[in-house]
A and B are shown apart, each in its own frame.
Chain A
Amino acid sequence: MAMLEVEHLRKSFGGLTATNDVSFHVNQGEIVSIIGPNGAGKSTVFNLITGVYRPDAGDVRFEGKSIVGKSTNQVVDLGIARTFQNLRLFTNLTVLENVLISQHHRLRSNWLAAVFRTPSYRRQERSMREVATEKLGFFGPRLQSFRLHQPVYVLSYANRRRTEMARAMATGAKLLLLDEPSAGMNPKETSEITQIIRRMRDEGGYTIVLVEHKMNLVGEISDRVVVLDYGEKIAEGEYRSVVNDPKVIEAYLGKKAADDKREELADG
């Protein structure tokens, strides 16, 4: 059974239809990429899934249950976490605190127990810290030891991206929505993050949906690719077949390039 099913999702802002009749599904353990030119509605799809926006029509089902109308934090409780395209870390807090905050919703002590530091609270706090270092460990030792206690504002851009991914992982989510995880990274860092995303799936057991512009990253790790253009799904399938699809080429490179491709396909 598909883990996440998105069906006929439609959302418009005034006269602008951001997504129109978008359907796709994500199976357990898959890495699915959503690609498309700027303004295609990729981030809107993320916002619709995580409850930031409410769809005008259509349905989002997670593990068989509809999650439309749930608030953002309830969606996280169910097991979907996201990262943001333009980093939204808690800048003045430390790396460790950032990764601890995303586990707060799983805390089973009330605030009085937290104030008086009951044994049960202490136990949970300790296990939260263990989870935090485990998730930060996906990125090597660079976010460990003394880095744990550095405020986020002293981190490099790439490290902030990594912290945000660790923060999303630490929520206890099964499904991660990564919004441009390699934005602003150099080629070396991009190839490293590609490996890490794969390890997140293989070792961490996460199912991953990516929005990404870097095609080599998408091609290397995606099981399937969903292509959006002007809010509509124009193609879906394996990377190789999708990038040769004339409709996709038209969306990215224009009609002429698409016609050339069509001729080429007809000839070959």
Chain B
Amino acid sequence: MARIVTPTAFDAIDPAKRIRNVALTLLAVGVGVLVLWLLEGAGSTKLVQALALFAIWGVATVSLNLINGTLGILSLGHHGFMLIGGYTTGLLMLDEAARQRILTSARSTMTEETLALSVSNLLRGVGLDALTTPETLWVRFLIAIFLGGLLAAFAGLLVGTPSLRLRGDYLAIVTFGFGEIIRLTASTRLFSAYTNGALGFPGVTSEFGKSIWWTFGVLAFTVFVISKLKYSSYGRAMQAIREDEIAAQAMGVNVAYHKILGFVISAFFAGVAGGLWVSWLGGVRLDFFLFQLTFFFLVAISAGGTGSITGVLLGTAVVVFVRQYGDPLEENYTIQTWLYIASATLALAAAGAVLFRTLRRLRPRLHWGSWVLLGGAAVAAVVAAVDPAVIEGTFRGFGMRAIFLSVLLIVIMVFRPEGMLGRTEFSWSWLLREQRTGPTDEERTQDAWMSNPAFRSDAGAAASREVEGPSDAAAPDDDEGGR
């Protein structure tokens, strides 16, 4: 039996670089932990809150991307899964004071039995009284978000099942419908004993949702599980379903099983993210789980790059930053100021266009569109400087944050439809600019084999004899188009 004797490289990167990359990653994680620690000590509450929100939404976007990016199914029901996890965690973690307030409130629809549902009572029931002290609150929180995740995963199973029969847009509509059904069902009489109807309830501990350590810990765990899954055989099978469902099935992949598996795992982490989100907000209310939430996640995923976990996190960071620090966009300014802002924005857009065309090596660098932008900037600046009486007054930019995000998304979709990072994960080789300049020895050997007609008739035998043959790079390479 003829065997090929070429050394086979299983890994795309060589071992030495791999060790260096691991070391660099550990170093980066260490620096990150240090920075977080310093920020928590010295930074403002606002920054800490923003970071915690980034981590919570990161859990949600990374898990949503398992369905949208890896499995290739557009799912719009993530807010529903989060709601299940959030309400479960909220109910199970209500503190005693809040319980009493709800019980005595006239508008409350919750009953004594439903309010008695808590992790503490559960633990007392199984005789673990030691875990019901205030010091062990974290154990109870862990149990609560785990249970919330499990319930959400069960919902994921229910939503995943129709995904076997539907495809594309139709499936997206079904997932959206499921998300809304979950949300609206939670407010009906059927569940109002558990959810307190549309009112929800305050009094969920913020100790964990606003703690950088907890949220980043959960995020790290999520990224670990989802990335390990994506780069395992199961993840490859899921990506195969994304690429070509019929071919995947014809190659033995059990499409139904893998789709549902993806939905269940994704929903589990969505439920966990919902628990943290509720804790971050300090209470539960129906309008914390609007479709808007899923929309923000989709913006983050599309802006960052559906194929890449690091890209999704980058997109999440952008969205959370705009959400938390976008207040200046929505303040009351005079129209004169707005004109200056418009002028500066147009000038920046023109500068961005020039930069873009320079990077892409397009000529002329100053496209006529840039002149139009610059002209607009000049007009706005002149009008603002002259300040005619007709533009007296002030204007408040309500919703400017959402507009800003939308414009950002449009720009990314036009100029880089695959998202900021696209399909490539962040890698040290990319950061250190380790790009290849010429063919490797291995490639030269292959070229020699390809271009020597003597080897062509009987591939295997010739190759095993002549792999070390002289390189003949000058001969035309009629077979290979792509390098």
Contacts and interface: CB of A to CB of B under 8 A. Distances in A.
A109 B12 CA distance: 24
Contacts of A116: 228
A153 B4 CA distance: 25
B434 interface: no
B233 A104 contact: yes
Given A76-B250, A92-B423, A158-B479, A129 B446 contact: no
A102 B251 contact: yes
B51 interface: no
A138 B460 contact: yes
Contacts of A28: none
A146 B443 CA distance: 7
B430 interface: no
Interface in B253-272: 253-255, 261, 265
B1 A203 contact: yes
Contacts of B455: 140
Contacts of B146: none
A194 B70 CA distance: 37
B311 to A, nearest CB: 15
B236 A104 contact: yes
Contact of B9 (A139, A145, A155, A199): A145
Interface in A37-80: 50, 52, 71-73, 76-77
Interface string B217-261: 000000001001100111011011001101111111111000001
Nearest to A47: B250
A96 B440 CA distance: 19
B50 interface: no
A77 B252 contact: yes
B456 interface: yes
B246 A88 contact: yes
A257 interface: no
Contact of A195 (B243, B246, B457): B457
B96 interface: no
Range for the number of chain A residues in contact with chain B? 35 or more
A97 interface: yes
A90 B442 contact: no
Contacts of A129: 10
A203 B319 CA distance: 57
Contacts of A92: 239, 243, 307, 423
A50 B246 CA distance: 12
B482 interface: yes
Contacts of A81: 250-252
Nearest to B247: A88
Contact of A88 (B250, B255, B440): B250
Contact of A72 (B232, B240, B249, B307): B249
A106 B480 CA distance: 33
Contacts of B4: 133, 137, 140-141, 144
Contacts of A203: 1-2
A94 to B, nearest CB: 8
Nearest to B450: A142
B481 interface: yes
Contacts of B261: 111
A144 B459 contact: no
Nearest to B8: A133
A246 to B, nearest CB: 36
Contacts of B254: 73, 105
Contact of A93 (B9, B240, B449, B462): B240
B446 A145 contact: yes
Nearest to A88: B247
B67 to A, nearest CB: 15
B483 interface: yes
B113 interface: no
Nearest to A98: B240
B233 A114 contact: yes
A141 B251 CA distance: 24
A97 B236 contact: yes
A115 B232 CA distance: 7
Given A88-B246, A114-B232, A150-B482, A139 B459 contact: yes
Interface in A89-142: 89-93, 96-97, 100-107, 109, 111, 114-117, 121, 124-125, 128-129, 133-134, 137-142
Interface in B1-38: 1-4, 6-10, 12
Contacts of B450: 142
A214 interface: no
B458 interface: yes
A222 interface: no
Contacts of B1: 203
Contacts of A140: 4, 449, 455, 459-460, 462-463
The 3 A-B pairs of least Cβ separation, nearest first, read A105-B252, A154-B482, A140-B459
Given A76-B251, A134-B3, 12 more contacts: A52-B250, A90-B243, A92-B307, A96-B10, A100-B236, A101-B239, A102-B252, A105-B253, A111-B261, A114-B229, A142-B449, A144-B4
6 contacts: A92-B243, A100-B233, A141-B463, A153-B482, A155-B482, A156-B482
